[in-house]
Amino acid sequence: MHNILICDDDRDIVSALSIYLTGEGYGVYAAYNGREALDVVRKNEIHLILMDVMMPQLDGIRATAKLREDCNVPIILLTAKGEDTDKVLGLNIGADDYITKPFNPLEVIARVKSQLRRYTNLGGMPRKDSFLSSGGVVMDDEAKTVTVDGEPVSLTPLEYSILHLLLSNKGKVFSTAQIYEQVWNDPSLGCENTVAVHIRHLREKIEISPAEPRYLKVVWGLGYKMEKLDA
């Protein structure tokens, strides 16, 4: 059974989401500010976090940043309309997705299931070989590890999935819509910014100079590709 942490200072939202999630067979933990969320994660096995942005004591953005120091579980931000800056900032610091309030609980359930599928089976695609590589970037898809020039790199589930897609198809250009549809498994409407943020974050982890990438290249007007490089 997967355990989900709902963190929101609106107790009615926490209660409503708890009913829907427990009805789907998930274990549910509740927190009402970022500090409580950190405490729950420290003491329990949590597999996914639904995190409100605007909360007292410690907001969702700072809580997400703190969690990402040593926690790799999917984080879905719950944001109000007009909080576009918070959405982008949240994706930049490691959130995997966001849902805008007011939301349909069934959409939340669908997003939760989608993120948990990626988390429990990173990559998600049939693999030809356990090891994928380009130059100094090496992925062991069986062990779910990534190294760059022999040094381990910690990726979020979405970053791993994007890298897996591109490493599995070195030299092939993928548009942002194609990346979104294959990695997020959702329609690609309005996906450009979301994909770009995750690509940028991935570059910061695998490139010596993210502004002048050696591996993950942009093909202007078309999309992104992984260069074919010898080890």
User: 153 forms bridges with which residues in the sheet?
Assistant: 146
pLDDT in tens, 138-196: 998 878 889 998 889 999 999 999 999 999 999 999 999 999 998 988 887 777 788 99
pLDDT in tens, 99-151: 988 889 888 999 998 888 877 765 433 344 568 889 889 998 878 889 998 88
Q: In the numeric block, which tokens belong to residue 165?
A: 């897609």
Q: In the numeric block, which tokens belong to residue 98?
A: 């966001």
The size of the chain, in residues, is 231
Q: In the numeric block, which tokens belong to residue 213?
A: 């990438």
Element (H, E) at 202: helix 192-206
pLDDT in tens, 196-213: 999 999 999 999 999 899
Burial (0-12, 13-18, 19+ Cβ within 10 Å), 214: middle
What is the torsional sign of CA 46, 108, 174, 118?
positive
- Give 60-120 as a DSSP string: HHHHHHHHTTT--S-EEEEEETT-HHHHHHHHHTT--EEEEES--HHHHHHHHHHHHHHHH
Asked whether 40 and 29 are in contact (CB, 8 A), the reply is: yes
Residue with tokens 């609980």: 105
pLDDT in tens, 72-94: 889 999 988 666 777 788 888 88
Give the list of residues 6+ apart from residue 171 with CB closer than 8 angstroms, or none: 225, 226, 227, 228
Task: Assign 216 a pLDDT band (cuts: 50, 70, 90).
Answer: very high
Read off the DSSP letter of residue 51: E
Task: Assign 59 a pLDDT band (cuts: 50, 70, 90).
Answer: very high
Strand 48-52, strand 75-80: pairing:
parallel
User: What type of residue is 61?
Assistant: I
Read off the pTM. Answer: 0.58
Q: Which domains does the chain have, with CATH numbers?
A: 3-120 (3.40.50.2300), 131-226 (1.10.10.10)
Q: What is the pLDDT of residue 190?
A: 73
Residue 98 has pLDDT above 80, yes or no: yes
Q: Is 73 helix (H, G, I), strand (E, B) or coil?
A: coil
Q: What is the pLDDT of residue 127?
A: 40
Asked whether 92 and 154 are in contact (CB, 8 A), the reply is: no
What whole-number distance in Å separates Cα of residue 18 and Cα of residue 157? 24
Burial (0-12, 13-18, 19+ Cβ within 10 Å), 105: middle
Which value, in Å, is the radius of gyration of the alpha carbons in the chain?
18
> Mean of the per-residue pLDDT values for the chain?
88
Q: SS3 for 143-168, per residue?
A: CCEEEECCEEECCCHHHHHHHHHHHH
Q: What is the pLDDT of residue 118?
A: 77
